[in-house]
Amino acid sequence: MFRGSLVALITPMRRDGAVDEEAFANFVDWQIREGTEGVVPVGTTGESPTLSHAEHKRVVEIAVEVARGRVPVIAGTGSNSTEEAIDLTRHAKQAGATAALVVTPYYNKPTQEGLFLHFTAIADAVELPILIYNIPPRSVIDMSVETMARLARHPNIVGVKDATANLARPLHTRHACGPGFCQLSGEDHTVLAFLGSGGHGCISVTGNVAPRLVSGMHRAWAEGRIEAAIGIQDRLLALHDALFAETSPGPVKYAASLLGHGSEKCRLPLAPPAEATRAKVLAAMTGLGLIN
């Protein structure tokens, strides 16, 4: 079971656009030392759509090498091609990843039966724990609770990253899939409400730049210190707002660059953050004491 604060890692780029492997390795180690309980390379925040297959696989390998078993590594391996997703998931297993995060196929718009067949094919092909990544705002489709319950019967499909922002969803998922089905939020703003509805943790964007605060909030919740958890949630609100003022990961890469974790560069078609967004990020990070 995956719990607590997991982070959807950025992929630092050099100013020439190449993956900055040294910066990424240092970043993974820093995350773990700051209290992050699991790392998630090459998801949406890691700019997986614009990485080559070779880059994608290398980023997973670096995360596994640096983690050295200290925390789980959940590798993003999704694609809108089932065969491509199988290949990336096979590589994640070979590299030593703990689990795979597989997004619902974007652009194709499969039916619920298509979703069932897609995830079943991946789970049949690779003996590795799989988390379904359900993110309708980016993939257009929404996996139904009924389809998820069918998939939850597969021994290799162990949970979901739920980025629907529907706080009734974890209640229905728990009822349909059972309390052992791992539910991780994909929405930083609503983490505590998600946990209160039966969730187990969050794959966070904000944790890229405030890992100690985010993991502290999860620990406070797990220890029953609810007021303390709410207090940290309140402190993080302005940072959440700033990091999602534009399409992620633009703002969070800018924020990470202020902390010395690589450049702010994203690959096109993502544009550099607007000056107004930069100002929001700077103000939020200063307000939290993350920078002077």
Q: How far apart are CA 72 and CA 101, in angstroms?
A: 12
Which member of 133, 254, 265, 280 is catalytic? 133
Nearest to 187 by CA among 63, 289, 45: 45
Structure tokens at 176: 């349909």
Q: What does the angle CA 218 – CA 223 – CA 226 come to, to the nearest 5 degrees? A: 70
Structure tokens at 193: 């409400």
Nearest to 210 by CA among 31, 25, 24, 8: 31
Whether 107 is catalytic is no
Per the CB < 8 A criterion, the answer to whether 105 and 134 are in contact is: no
Question: Strand pairing partners for 182?
Answer: 159
* DSSP E strand boundaries for 104-230: 130-134, 157-162, 182-185, 201-204
Whether 106 is catalytic is no
Q: Collapsing DSSP states into helix, strand and coil, what is residue 131?
A: strand
Per the CB < 8 A criterion, the answer to whether 49 and 140 are in contact is: no
Which member of 57, 161, 253, 265 is catalytic? 161
Q: Letter for the amino acid at 273?
A: P
Q: Which residues are part of the catalytic machinery?
A: 133, 161
